[in-house]
Structure 1
Amino acid sequence: MFNYILRRLAYSIPILLGVNIITFVLFFMVNTPDDMARVHLGDKNVTEEQVEQWKHERGYDLPLFFNTDITETIFYQKSVPLFLFQFGNSDQGRNINHDISQRMWPSLALAVPTMIVGLLINISLALLLIFFRGTYLDTTGVVIAVMLMSISGMFYIIGGQFLMSKLWHLVPISGYAYSFDAWRFLILPIVIGVISGIGTGTRWYRSIFFEEINKDYVRTARAKGLSEFKVLFTHVLHNAMIPILTGVVVVIPTLFMGSLIMETFFAIPGLGSYTIDAIQAQDFAIVRSMVFLGSVLYIIGLILTDISYTWVDPRVRLS
């Protein structure tokens, strides 16, 4: 197990390096340091001296990739510190590490309840449909799930804000509070996040359970006299944990990074809105840091998922 984790960590280094190179190349294919300087200076009559000064203060006056001294390149100075989680300052002068430490909590407060509640509801509904498979309830449930999948997430956001905030005045339409009152600002986006994912989640888990329900071990359990309820919740659910865990790992970066659309529409100061603002402001330092952080979290999620496989299925061994 320990050797396996070390190997996966070693594999992650070239992956992260590749992500950095791709992000770096794509960004500077669209924006040159001169373009970035003019955007941030925000003056149509900006002089070349001002542009050069802005670039020099932020280290953008160096060559991009190639130089006689590799350490004197933008790529080296902007990318190597990331592997030490030293994100430096944004192009606007803010400390990125401090911003992340502040903004991660609203993102977690929004994403964790949404994931947990959504997971429980989706699995429960999927098991219910499997329990009544082949009946009108199953058919109706699948049709409703497809209808929910077909509705854009923007509809849920705008409709929820209109009904709950503008029409009924139950919760604030947007904003956030760094106190116990934060729940008033989070309850609506959490509910919307759960409802908008019911269609996709229920159909996904139903397909997993439907595949398990026809296997030999299920027929053996029924032959031993176990009730259908116990077969589903004891055997089928347990043996379906591997694909469930695989689906959950995709959400792990979102737990920390936040929801880009949800945080933007509800003005929640999380890492999702932080990333959107950085893209709009063409702040390469923040964009690079967020992409790197998301890659690290995804790799960690994959490792944790592989390890958890050994807990839910003894047949899986990591060496």
Structure 2
Amino acid sequence: MMFLFVYLLRRLLYALSVMVGVTFLVFVIFNMLVEDPTLILLGKYATPKAMAALSHQLGLDRPWYLQYWEVLQSAFTFNFGSSWATKQPILKIFQQGGLVSLTVTLPAFLIGNALLIYVSLWMTQYKGTIWDRLLVIGCMIMSSISILVYILVGQVFFASKLRLFPIMGYKNGFCACLPYIILPTILLVLLHFCYNYRFYRTIMLDEVYQDYVRTARAKGLSEEVVLFKHVFKNIMVPILTTLVKDFPSLLFGSVVIENFFGIPGLGNLVIDAVSLCDFPTIKAVTIIAALLSIFCNILGDLLYTLVDPRIKL
């Protein structure tokens, strides 16, 4: 128990230093390196008087250390203020957009990883066969094609011609949103599978040739038991590493999908914030993404000790 407390304290100090660095970098980028936001917001014909008034309204005329303190404070209080574009509280916008994004990305994340694990384990029996080579080559080709191609083909063929799904749009409510998220989810599952299959295949092939696997097969255990009980258990660490790395992208990782399908999630929020020069929203997105990454790294370290007792914190 003491080791766990010391580890969490050490990681907390590490997270604190990372957040100070992230907030300072964000502050420097958006307050010192970027053009005067009042000029961007008011346009090139803005008068000095109007720019000074807006600068005072936004608090940009205060000393830099007070402005940085506000950014640093927001990382720990989650009080990001209001959006310059919509005037709504940023945290409220995040809550609404985050739930919408998760309706697409979370099913794709769960289905995609389950399919990856199952197919990769099963295909270890067919290494070097025509089916194995076709699957590898197919994934290489498909992962080399831009996501825009899949989106346009899906919208034209499945939505416009076959009319199986709506081309774009979104409705709130579980049953109401289902027709709108099926096609984006299928595309995300397909892309996730193609991008990650070769990695999963490699780690599983490295494991199936270990001595304990040959021993299990020599004892007469069925191939399903060998693969899904023994092999799967021993490759959980690299799988967890991949899952933890991908988890923060559930909120901000579907920018292109949300934009083309008209889904009002956080991906669209990021695009709107950039196009409207909504700096408070962009700062909040950067800080929250950093916090999610730190939290997932700590959670991943704790999960390693559960799946592999040999790993110590």
Interval of TM-score (by shorter of Structure 1 and Structure 2): over 0.9
- The aligned residue for residue 309 of structure 1 is 304
CA contact (8 A) 1:131 1:229 kept: no
Amino acid at match of 2:152: I
Describe the SS at the equivalent of 1:176: coil
CA contact (8 A) 1:108 1:258 kept: no
Over residues 52-106 of structure 1, what are the superposed CA-to-partner deviations in whole Å (9 max), with x where a residue is unaligned? 11111111112334xxxxxxx3212233222211111122322101111111110
- The aligned residue for residue 6 of structure 1 is 9
- The aligned residue for residue 75 of structure 1 is 68
Q: Bigger shift: 176-185 or 73-82?
A: 73-82
Q: Separation in 2 of the partners of 1:27 and 1:244?
A: 36
**Structure 2: runs of 5+ lacking an equivalent:** none
Cα shift at 1:5: 2.0
1:237 aligns with 2:227: no
Give the TM-score of the pair, scaled to structure 2: 0.93
**% identical equivalent positions:** 37
- The aligned residue for residue 108 of structure 1 is 102
CA contact (8 A) 2:237 2:304 kept: yes
Instruction: Name which of 246, 254, 257 aligns with 1:251.
Output: 246
- The aligned residue for residue 147 of structure 2 is 153
Q: Separation in 2 of the partners of 1:101 and 1:140?
A: 43
Q: Separation in 2 of the partners of 1:184 and 1:167?
A: 16
| Residues matched between the structures, number | 308
CA contact (8 A) 1:145 1:199 kept: yes
Q: Bigger shift: 218-227 or 240-249?
A: 218-227
- The aligned residue for residue 205 of structure 1 is 200
Q: Separation in 1 of the partners of 2:123 and 2:142?
A: 16
- The aligned residue for residue 278 of structure 1 is 273
1:24 aligns with 2:18: no
Give the TM-score of the pair, scaled to structure 1: 0.92
CA contact (8 A) 2:100 2:265 kept: yes
Taking the TM superposition and a 5 Å limit, the aligned residue runs for 1:56-75 are 56-65=56-65, 73-75=66-68
Cα shift at 1:30: 4.1
Over residues 127-158 of structure 1, what are the superposed CA-to-partner deviations in whole Å (9 max), with x where a residue is unaligned? 12212112222122211121222221111111
Q: Separation in 1 of the partners of 2:309 and 2:199?
A: 24
- The aligned residue for residue 37 of structure 2 is 36
| RMSD of equivalent CA atoms | 1.6
Describe the SS at the equivalent of 1:181: helix
CA contact (8 A) 2:101 2:265 kept: yes
Q: Separation in 2 of the partners of 1:212 and 1:190?
A: 31
- The aligned residue for residue 211 of structure 2 is 216
CA contact (8 A) 1:16 1:296 kept: yes
- The aligned residue for residue 50 of structure 2 is 50
Q: Bigger shift: 300-309 or 135-144?
A: 135-144
Q: Separation in 2 of the partners of 1:82 and 1:304?
A: 19
CA contact (8 A) 1:107 1:258 kept: no
Instruction: Name which of 121, 124, 146 aligns with 2:118.
Output: 124
Cα shift at 1:189: 0.5
Instruction: Name which of 130, 134, 139 aligns with 2:133.
Output: 139
Over residues 185-209 of structure 1, what are the superposed CA-to-partner deviations in whole Å (9 max), with x where a residue is unaligned? 1111001101122212221110110
Instruction: Name which of 159, 177, 185 aligns with 1:182.
Output: 177
**Structure 1: runs of 5+ lacking an equivalent:** 66-72
1:295 aligns with 2:290: yes
Q: Separation in 1 of the partners of 2:161 and 2:129?
A: 39
CA contact (8 A) 1:110 1:189 kept: yes
Q: Bigger shift: 162-171 or 187-196?
A: 162-171
- The aligned residue for residue 68 of structure 1 is none
CA contact (8 A) 1:90 1:283 kept: yes
CA contact (8 A) 2:252 2:266 kept: yes
4+ residue stretches of structure 1 with deviation over 4 A?
A: none
Over residues 280-319 of structure 1, what are the superposed CA-to-partner deviations in whole Å (9 max), with x where a residue is unaligned? 212111111011001111111111111111221121222x
Over residues 228-259 of structure 1, what are the superposed CA-to-partner deviations in whole Å (9 max), with x where a residue is unaligned? 33211111111011000000011211223351
Relative to structure 1, is the Cα distance of residues 256 and 2 closer, same or farther in structure 2, using a 3 angstrom cutoff? farther
